[in-house]
Amino acid sequence: MDLTYTEEEQDFRARLRAWLTKVLPELPAKPSPDDWPGRRAYDLGWQRRLYEAGYAGLHWPVDAGGRGATPTQHLIFLEETERAGAPYVGANFVGLLHAGPTVAAEGTAEQRARWLPPVLRGDEVWCQGFSEPDAGSDLASLRTRAVRDGDDYVISGSKIWTSHAEVADWCELLVRTDPGAPKHRGISWLAMPMDAPGVSVRPLRTLAGSAEFAQVFLDEVRVPVANRVGAENDGWRVTMVTLSFERGTAFVGEVVACRRTLGELARTAKANGRWDDPVLRRRLGRLYGEFGALWRLTQWNVSEAERSAGGVPGIGGSVFKLAYSHARQELYDTAAEVLGAQCLSLEEEWTLDRLSSLSYTIAAGTSQIQRNIVAERILGLPKGR
């Protein structure tokens, strides 16, 4: 793969950088971390600015409402927005990075027309209703049931770790539509309106004190059959498409952020005397090399996704997810070494990031699950009994 930039790509970078320089000072102040309605409005306001400027959905295909940009332009966008300190997707990350691309790849023309433009315009927020309290890492053992009743499914059950459920308009929901089928074959993927009767949301507070997660309870919620993406009982295959996006390309911006954090760590260590420790310097140097390699892997994964049918990332996303999760944890463990006693203060941004990093070997598929995928689908090893 050619990793150099063409003249057209350099021009794209210059125009984007000029736009960011102009528009970022015009943004309102960020709301409090606990003000989720305010954060929703802030994040969607930024998405609308991107849409109006032609930068929304760069990585989406044109027929899904995206801009059809090249993989390199997409990566340049991520580099420049992170370098400039622009807002991240925030409350809209499920719609932009998971549900939207899944609907683009698997949905009907009517479904794409209904759900994709509002995501790109910053009109609607999605959440993810996959995990369940009793399922653990075995997602296919989910128990939330959907019983067909005419043109509707009637759904009962509960979901957990549902990001931004309290401010979401839609939920990408996995349900069991055939309890008698083998567990991977009786699942369907639905788009559920969060304001439907019978949906209740209970926020969950994290170790860092925030409440971006929730448990969602479903009491005979009626969802139209027309909201099913893919065939009935084919939801596991559609879910693998969603997880391919989640593991393969959704963390791209975070790699850029981690590389920036690494530079800030080095500058802080030089300022507070920790740079004199040769062990710490070697650790920072090794992390520099590791995140550089992860960025190259990111470029490859994004390019492969763009070349594949429907823009779906391949199993290389599991390699990335596994390596990135552990590298991120080590990065913020190193930040704790640099900060010293300050790392105990929740006022420090790096402290909150360190607490958040603890979840990365669990979220979006545990590291154990990723190792199984790599072993079976890349290395060709037999499945465990």
Q: What is each CA distance from 379 to 314, 316, 366, in whole angstroms?
A: 14, 12, 19
Selected catalytic residue, list 172, 246, 304, 306: 246
Q: Give me 108's structure tokens.
A: 């009907």
Q: Nearest 5°: phi and psi at 278?
A: -65, -30
Q: Give me 104's structure tokens.
A: 């683009």
Q: Is 246 in the active site?
A: yes
Q: Which residues are catalytic?
A: 246
